[in-house]
Amino acid sequence: MCVLHSSTLCFHGFSRSFHQLTICNSSNSSHNSTGLIPPLNQSVVALILGDGPESKLYPLTKRRSEAAIPIGARYRLIDIAISNCINSDITKIYTLTQTNSTSLNSHVSRAYSNIGVLGKEGFIDVLAACQSLENHCWFKGNVDMVRKWLWLLEKHPATEFLILPGHHLYFMDYRELIKTHRDSEADITVSVSSTYQINSSSSSYGFLILDNESRVLGFKEESSMDIGGRNMGIYVFKKNAMVKILKEYLPKANDFENEVIKGAISLGMKVQAHMFDGKWEDMNSIESFYHANMEINLIGQDFPIYTMPLCLPPTQISNANISQSMIGDGCIINRCKISNSIIGMRTFIADGAVIEDSFIMGRDFHHTDLKNQKELGSCTPIGIGEQTLIRKAIIDKNACIGKNVQICNSNGVQECEREVEGYIISGGIVTVLKNAVIPDNSII
Amino acid sequence: MCVLHSSTLCFHGFSRSFHQLTICNSSNSSHNSTGLIPPLNQSVVALILGDGPESKLYPLTKRRSEAAIPIGARYRLIDIAISNCINSDITKIYTLTQTNSTSLNSHVSRAYSNIGVLGKEGFIDVLAACQSLENHCWFKGNVDMVRKWLWLLEKHPATEFLILPGHHLYFMDYRELIKTHRDSEADITVSVSSTYQINSSSSSYGFLILDNESRVLGFKEESSMDIGGRNMGIYVFKKNAMVKILKEYLPKANDFENEVIKGAISLGMKVQAHMFDGKWEDMNSIESFYHANMEINLIGQDFPIYTMPLCLPPTQISNANISQSMIGDGCIINRCKISNSIIGMRTFIADGAVIEDSFIMGRDFHHTDLKNQKELGSCTPIGIGEQTLIRKAIIDKNACIGKNVQICNSNGVQECEREVEGYIISGGIVTVLKNAVIPDNSII
Amino acid sequence: MCVLHSSTLCFHGFSRSFHQLTICNSSNSSHNSTGLIPPLNQSVVALILGDGPESKLYPLTKRRSEAAIPIGARYRLIDIAISNCINSDITKIYTLTQTNSTSLNSHVSRAYSNIGVLGKEGFIDVLAACQSLENHCWFKGNVDMVRKWLWLLEKHPATEFLILPGHHLYFMDYRELIKTHRDSEADITVSVSSTYQINSSSSSYGFLILDNESRVLGFKEESSMDIGGRNMGIYVFKKNAMVKILKEYLPKANDFENEVIKGAISLGMKVQAHMFDGKWEDMNSIESFYHANMEINLIGQDFPIYTMPLCLPPTQISNANISQSMIGDGCIINRCKISNSIIGMRTFIADGAVIEDSFIMGRDFHHTDLKNQKELGSCTPIGIGEQTLIRKAIIDKNACIGKNVQICNSNGVQECEREVEGYIISGGIVTVLKNAVIPDNSII
Amino acid sequence: MCVLHSSTLCFHGFSRSFHQLTICNSSNSSHNSTGLIPPLNQSVVALILGDGPESKLYPLTKRRSEAAIPIGARYRLIDIAISNCINSDITKIYTLTQTNSTSLNSHVSRAYSNIGVLGKEGFIDVLAACQSLENHCWFKGNVDMVRKWLWLLEKHPATEFLILPGHHLYFMDYRELIKTHRDSEADITVSVSSTYQINSSSSSYGFLILDNESRVLGFKEESSMDIGGRNMGIYVFKKNAMVKILKEYLPKANDFENEVIKGAISLGMKVQAHMFDGKWEDMNSIESFYHANMEINLIGQDFPIYTMPLCLPPTQISNANISQSMIGDGCIINRCKISNSIIGMRTFIADGAVIEDSFIMGRDFHHTDLKNQKELGSCTPIGIGEQTLIRKAIIDKNACIGKNVQICNSNGVQECEREVEGYIISGGIVTVLKNAVIPDNSII
């Protein structure tokens, strides 16, 4: 048949073995539209929060905002939140950032510039920090960042704002969240993870105390049996409530959980909880980022994940044993072993390499630059050299790992800063920096 | 760096083993622009010839034009000729067809609709056969097809027309061909393969007799030492020469080689040869199509190959031994062995499958349709079933190969028409038809 | 606000005078979604019918299909039906044609290639007539054209097919039509114009006889008080009903009204009427095409009309008196008078010209071609020359009207074929052909 | 012919009267490619400079960066510099800004996201000011802004950087500038306006002293006969020269003319002048911005100007007398008089209005918002009200000018700040702010 469905294929997960093809359930945004009136594409504006200058995902954020960090062989972190929005029929989206917005802009404009075409109202714009006559200093935090853009946000004829952290991994239909919000007539609705035990160590958000009708009464530091679950940092605000809180009630608040939500409760506003029992990862450290990527299990995942469409050649494999791994496009893979790993786009792997439990982000380089690289006399090619062993590591983009290198942290170092030498160890996980060169025979 | 070069990555080849990353030479269209005046993007119109209703690539052409046949895990045949054009700075392109143009239209419009934007003059339009007041019958052949469109072609302010067959596999810089044409002041220039021995059996084009200055004197049926090489079916015409030949001198001619070129020589026009020593495959049978795909060796290939950009998830491999193979995006590959094969986009391969020397084209299906398939009660999923062996076969798109199937033509049948059962054997190669269902335990 | 909504602006109408800005009502596809389950973007496939080789809109169809005829200064006829579909949330669209599909393909691929992106399932594909092994002859009519493509259409998991003529001018929310169809559980639903008196002379469709519940009982030749309205040629078919009718019940039928609808009634199938009281023009002659364009009155029009986005410079006017007219982009308008006219894109009008009651389609030429034109020595520039008078005429694209020309049919000729001289008179309206040259001082 | 050249139409100018259609000369980037090796699309990176927080174009820059200010009925300032680049075959472009980058991002990503497709290397990325670990303070000026991005710029395999101010109006083929630079083997080449008398009052750049071979010897404050012309603020730097100057030689320099160019001369570097005799406007005040727009005369202009393609309905005129004006798309113009004015996209003009010598920027509003406006009870519609007179004014986007308003500065006020009331007078020109409401019967 003639129709190539280029961008709507869903992200099938994988596991030990597939006895049959995973059948995706309905993933189209209109399927279970839950009859929300007004429809979300007209009434909800999503605000995806970038990050402040002190990211916990350093060194992955050295030259990019968190939202632009690569995940899952070909995606960027921001694609998760944006795809959740699109799949929930929310198409008016701002991404707020005050760090380097270049790669984020570049990605968003190439991947999503079609969002508002042909009968679909919509946009995805990056709101980068800026100076202005009335605003000579940097934003002081996420709440302040939203506050500074209120002049723009207020003009939207929206009924709700949806606040989304940009560095979480989860698949969620926000229509259910909005439904809870509208049904309960809350001022603010907080999405709450009911599977918090699993993630208890990996998140900086607090635990909520709820009443019988899931209204939020307050927060507790520690998880215990009598509380309702973990705050996910995902909030729906009535438009007017947000404007009032940020401008009038709490004009100095800078933190959503500790100042805005707690403040709103104190003020007697109605703060509702919406329970979410799906998988959810708050990637607030290199360790949790690594584990979220490694444990990515998307079998039965109903939602398509969008990103920049590409036109790379198929991956070419000369003789490899590959298990439990995900392989991006445009790779050249020689005689090697790969297990429990993610191999990003355009990765080159030489003969004899062994890659275990690792995330190789690939390269975004391009033949001309490659040629240039050769002219510049760089003797270590981008990619993984011969006989090299990589275990439990993150190799950022365009890194050149030489021959006979061992990156396996055999001494079990937990924390170690070797940025000059091209890597950092954090939580026991080695991260090789973007563009780093690790010479032949190195042992890390 | 922030720039993702989405569409210009070159098609790296592969072979037994890579000792280092293949460095692409300059592939940009302006690099070796050979100083042609006027520049080709303004002076040359390319005509890519589709096919008549009796294609030699049946059954691959059952529901599509030849130019839309899948090759190389993610491309279509037409992408080769179009990419050669783009890489040669030729951006005014017509594709002529008189068979089902739907999938061709669909592919071309999705892949190349940007060709004429932002300072680049250009277009790629499909000229489908049609009725009109003065033209109630179908075109009689390729020359007639060009003749019927002369009213449109004549209006272009071009100096040359470049005739390109749509079903060849080769990488060529047409700028060199045009240079030969302009330098020799020929009326027609014929591209000639000097490596004809290799392909002698696989092409329907004849051998040329040349003089010392590479002017074409005539044709010979058989290859011999005193001749200049094989006609490749690629011709440059001076615009005026083409108009005169098709309208006035040879108004009944239908075949380029036998009528137009030979006729032009008889008429005393200057017909020049341009020698080409690169690899070249004329896929004029299922057998030659199969071998062209199998032997595809693109190492050191300087040119990018364009096609429709996609946004598929990365291929997921649970435990596979893969050698000398090319793997497309969006596949799900379980415990299996794959050797010397091409695995197209979105292929599903079940546990225990063995795939050798085969071209699996993949599927263009989509989750909703998959769901639909389940509802319709189809019990054989699209893809390759458990414990199934496929050897030396072409599996067209969306075919459902059951469990314990053996497709290996163990009796060495050469020709066999079993279209009702879902396959055809031609030149000893089994081709399973698009959308065919091969039940469990079948032996072919 | 920063967002430019490029493609969703609605087509504001105009009339004698505007006392205030027309406020558009909700035009977004989701607004009044009438709760149709399943949603139309998943369950309805629209088939826009092109035309046979004997168009009644000749000479506008000389080198293009009807659907590609320019209307309203910057649109094409096909944009009306496609925009109605998009505004009704129907995004799976085929355009069927058996005439020259080139300009139609070109327009559709440039204007609508984004329809199926980012969470929106959808496509707009042109199904051009073609030869195939089983089908060596041309299609015999619209019904036959649909029948020949059944192999493709049947595969869609649709519940209804929506048949749309491509040459009507109207704005309709098909969701209401589909609702009538589903509510009445009809096999076929016919859209019926209740304002038929107005258009009684301009349509070839018949009048329907309905029962009390708007079920269609039959047809009458003449309009009378006891009948229900005029058939609009717009039909909804249950998928299965269409397949059965075209393949089994009426395998020879070629005409929808006379054979399929009447046949279905005879067979006892349920044929329902859906009343439509909006304006509707069946442009089945040059005269009705002319009047539809002239009387175009879109005030209060709620729907946006889509077409190819362009980047033309603003129109420049040196000294003009303009009344009751619509002016496209990129025009150069000198000292002249324009009244009751439509001036298409890139039109050039010289000093002293007077244009009344006319539709000037503009030009699709381009500076390089213009330059070329000059080189070719054409002394009459494209556009309207000095002191030239044009009254009640259609000037097709790229026509060159010289100086002191009078096109006003002062003798009141009704029909006249002067194709060699560049024009045709039909119904008293002069149509100057595309690319025609009308020399200085001509009187038509 | 079937091909609509959507984006390559050139911006024809207009003047008192056109005796014939302006024939554009070669505008394609390859036409006069002047044989530059390496070609510019591979070797030159353009840096378009945005603006600091204290723009001289306030209030037009209140909520947007200078580069996003509307000009010429449908363009933005940035389109001039970008179009010059594209027309000069320079396709690697960064726009640097430290003010609100939202509308700039939005415009650039919608208008130019296709620049790097299908064989064309290229990108247009916005580099917005940002915080980073090593950079906690805002940039101190244009030179500092470039310096802060050197880490990114250095990686490009470029031979030259081209520095372009974003707020100039001129049409220039940078290939000639680069040719002068390469031929003279200069470290820096400065583009010099030889028509400086005309613009002498309107620019902040200095006058250059040149030797016989056009080498720059120094600067003079005042124009005099013995000097070579005015600096245009357009500089070509050898890549290495720029890196050395910014990092090593002049690490504190903040101003290009006064610190970098003068410093380089002092250091003995070779600074060459390239003479430019075309029209050139440095829009460094509201007054010069106004005059540049009013005097825009582009007759014979060879270059296309690119911008965001749009799909607006044609402008509708009910009865207007229009002279020496430029009219954008999607306007509704009633009984009124317009002379010597620019009427931007989607402008509404009511009966009886008179507009003279003014620039009406239009609106970027959209039907939903319009509807919303009505709901909010705003009683003054966006646009120009009945019987209103506007003379010598700039009306920013979405302003609502009521009935019987007179904006004609009849007292000849030169400077006046009335931001609260919605306008500012500067250099005698009234500028009505974006979104401002001017009530009925106001007199300004």
pLDDT tens digit sequence for A91-119: 999 988 877 777 788 888 888 877 766 66
Best of A102, A120, A130, A153 to substitute, by most chain D Cβ atoms within 10 angstroms, is A130
Q: In terms of domains, do B257 and B378 share one?
A: no
Q: In terms of domains, do A336 and A268 share one?
A: no
Asked if residues C164 and C81 have their Cβ atoms less than 8 Å apart, the reply is yes
What pLDDT does C28 receive?
Answer: 36
Q: In terms of domains, do A318 and A282 share one?
A: no
* Domain-ending residue, one of A260, A294, A328: A294
In the predicted model, is pLDDT for residue B28 greater than 60? no
Mean pLDDT of chain A: 81
The answer to whether B269 contacts chain A (CB < 8 Å) is no
Mean pLDDT along residues A201-214: 82
Q: In terms of domains, do C350 and C384 share one?
A: yes
Asked if the Cβ–Cβ distance from B30 to D7 is below 8 Å, we say: no
In the predicted model, is pLDDT for residue B290 greater than 60? yes
Write the CB contacts of B76 (distance below 8 Å, at least 6 apart in sequence).
B67, B68, B69, B70, B107, B307
Mean pLDDT along residues B139-163: 87
- In A38-149, where does DSSP find H-type helix? 40-43, 77-87, 102-112, 142-148
Closest CA of chain C from A246, distance in Å: 20
How many contacts (CB atoms, under 8 Å) link B and C?
94
Q: In terms of domains, do A368 and A396 share one?
A: yes
D41 neighbourhood in chain B, CB within 8 Å:
28, 30
D370 neighbourhood in chain A, CB within 8 Å:
none
Q: Structural domain tally of chain A?
A: 2
Best of B30, B44, B92 to substitute, by most chain D Cβ atoms within 10 angstroms, is B30
Least confident stretch, A268-272, B140-144, B252-256: B140-144
* Cα D96 from Cα D148, distance rounded (Å): 11
pTM of the model: 0.85
Peptide bond into A38 cis (omega under 30): yes
Closest CA of chain B from C312, distance in Å: 12
B119 neighbourhood in chain D, CB within 8 Å:
8, 28-29, 86-87, 89, 304, 306
CATH code for the domain of A410: 2.160.10.10
D11 neighbourhood in chain C, CB within 8 Å:
313
What pLDDT does C313 receive?
Answer: 87
The conformational region for residue D435 under phi > 0 = left, psi -120 to 50 = alpha, else beta, is left
* Other Cβ atoms within 10 Å of B164 Cβ, number: 24
A313 neighbourhood in chain B, CB within 8 Å:
9-12, 72, 74, 305
Tell me which residues of chain D have a pLDDT lower than 70: 1-35, 51-54, 116-120, 130-139, 196-202, 221-227, 297-302, 365-380
Residue D444 lies in a domain: no
Q: In terms of domains, do B284 and B389 share one?
A: no
* Widest Cα–Cα separation across chain C: 69
Which residue in D1, D152, D306 is closest to B1 by CB distance? D152
* Domain-ending residue, one of D260, D294, D328: D294
Which residue in A2, A42, A123 is closest to C30 by CB distance? A42
Which tokens sit at C267? 């067979």
Q: Could you list the beta-strand ranges (E) of C196-340.
A: 207-210, 216-220, 229-238, 271-276, 280-282, 315-327, 332-333, 336-339
More confident of the two residues D132 and A417:
A417
The answer to whether C294 contacts chain D (CB < 8 Å) is no
Cβ-in-10-Å burial (0-12, 13-18, 19+) of D272 comes to: buried
- Per the structure, the complete domain to which residue D288 belongs is given by 18-294
Comparing CA positions, the residue from B342, B42, A92 lying closest to residue D26 is B42
A126 neighbourhood in chain D, CB within 8 Å:
101-102, 105
* Cα B196 from Cα B217, distance rounded (Å): 18
D121 neighbourhood in chain A, CB within 8 Å:
368
* Cα D307 from Cα D8, distance rounded (Å): 11
* Other Cβ atoms within 10 Å of B419 Cβ, number: 12
Which residue in A16, A305, A348 is closest to B313 by CB distance? A305
Q: In terms of domains, do B163 and B222 share one?
A: yes
- Chain D 326-345, CB below 8 Å of chain C: which residues? 326-330, 332, 334-335, 342
Best of C65, C99, C101, C310 to substitute, by most chain B Cβ atoms within 10 angstroms, is C101
Q: In terms of domains, do B122 and B151 share one?
A: yes
* Other Cβ atoms within 10 Å of D435 Cβ, number: 18
* Cα B309 from Cα B49, distance rounded (Å): 24
CATH code for the domain of C247: 3.90.550.10
Measure CA C145 to chain center: 19
Is the sign of the CA dihedral A300, A303, A308, A313 positive or negative?
Answer: positive
**DSSP labels, B102-123:** HHHHHHHHHHHTTTT-TT---E
Nearest-CA residue of chain D relative to A308? D113
Phi and psi for D278 in degrees, rounded to 5?
Answer: -80, 175
What pLDDT does B212 receive?
Answer: 87
Residue C286 lies in a domain: yes
**Residue that the structure tokens 């002249």 belong to:** C336
Residue D124 lies in a domain: yes
Q: Please report, to the nearest 10 degrees, the dihedral formed by the alpha carbons of residues B71, B75, B79, B80 taken in order.
A: -50
Mean pLDDT along residues A177-195: 93
Residue B402 lies in a domain: yes
DSSP3 helix / strand / coil % (chain B, rounded to 5): 25, 30, 50
The answer to whether A41 contacts chain C (CB < 8 Å) is yes
* Cα D357 from Cα C172, distance rounded (Å): 42
Write the CB contacts of A201 (distance below 8 Å, at least 6 apart in sequence).
none
What pLDDT does D371 receive?
Answer: 45
DSSP designation for A247: I
D151 neighbourhood in chain A, CB within 8 Å:
63
Asked if the Cβ–Cβ distance from D366 to C20 is below 8 Å, we say: no
Asked if the Cβ–Cβ distance from B366 to A327 is below 8 Å, we say: no
Write the pLDDT tens digit of every residue in A31-40. Answer: 344 567 888 8
Mean pLDDT along residues A240-268: 93
Peptide bond into C59 cis (omega under 30): yes
- Residue B309 three-state SS: coil
Q: In terms of domains, do C346 and C254 share one?
A: no
**Computed over its alpha carbons, how large is the radius of gyration of chain A?**
23
Asked if residues C139 and C105 have their Cβ atoms less than 8 Å apart, the reply is no
Residue B251 lies in a domain: yes
- Print pLDDT tens along chain C (444 aa): 222 233 322 233 332 333 322 322 333 333 344 567 888 888 999 999 876 555 788 888 887 878 889 998 889 999 999 999 998 989 999 998 877 777 788 888 888 877 766 666 788 888 877 655 455 555 677 898 899 889 889 888 899 999 999 888 899 999 999 999 999 999 999 999 887 555 455 677 888 888 988 999 988 866 565 567 889 999 999 999 999 999 999 999 988 999 999 999 999 999 999 999 888 888 888 988 998 888 876 544 567 888 888 888 899 999 999 999 999 988 999 999 999 999 999 999 999 999 999 999 998 765 444 444 444 444 567 899 999 999 999 999 999 999 999 999 999 999 999 999 999 999 999 999 998 999 999 998
Closest CA of chain D from B176, distance in Å: 18
Q: In terms of domains, do C271 and C340 share one?
A: no
* Domain-ending residue, one of D241, D261, D294: D294
* Cα A121 from Cα A117, distance rounded (Å): 7
D402 neighbourhood in chain C, CB within 8 Å:
none
Asked if the Cβ–Cβ distance from D132 to A157 is below 8 Å, we say: no
Q: Which amino acid would we find at residue A255?
A: D
Asked if the Cβ–Cβ distance from B129 to C132 is below 8 Å, we say: no
Least confident stretch, A189-198, B303-312, C233-242: A189-198
- Residue D396 three-state SS: coil
Comparing CA positions, the residue from B183, B170, B158, B191 lying closest to residue B46 is B158
Write the pLDDT tens digit of every residue in D232-278. Answer: 999 999 999 999 999 999 999 988 999 999 999 999 999 999 999 88
Best of B57, B101, B378 to substitute, by most chain C Cβ atoms within 10 angstroms, is B101
Q: In terms of domains, do B95 and B159 share one?
A: yes
Residue D228 lies in a domain: yes
**Residue that the structure tokens 């101010």 belong to:** D165
* Cα D12 from Cα D27, distance rounded (Å): 12
* Cα A80 from Cα A71, distance rounded (Å): 10
Residue C74 lies in a domain: yes
Asked if the Cβ–Cβ distance from D131 to A98 is below 8 Å, we say: yes
Nearest-CA residue of chain D relative to C12? D313
Closest CA of chain C from D46, distance in Å: 23
Helices (H) and strands (E) in chain A, counts: 10, 29
Chains touching A by CB (3 or more pairs below 8 Å):
B, C, D
Q: In terms of domains, do C290 and C323 share one?
A: no
Best of B315, B323, B343 to substitute, by most chain A Cβ atoms within 10 angstroms, is B315
What pLDDT does C54 receive?
Answer: 59
What pLDDT does A379 receive?
Answer: 53
Residue D143 lies in a domain: yes
Which residue in B28, B72, B313 is closest to A12 by CB distance? B313
Asked if the Cβ–Cβ distance from D318 to C323 is below 8 Å, we say: yes
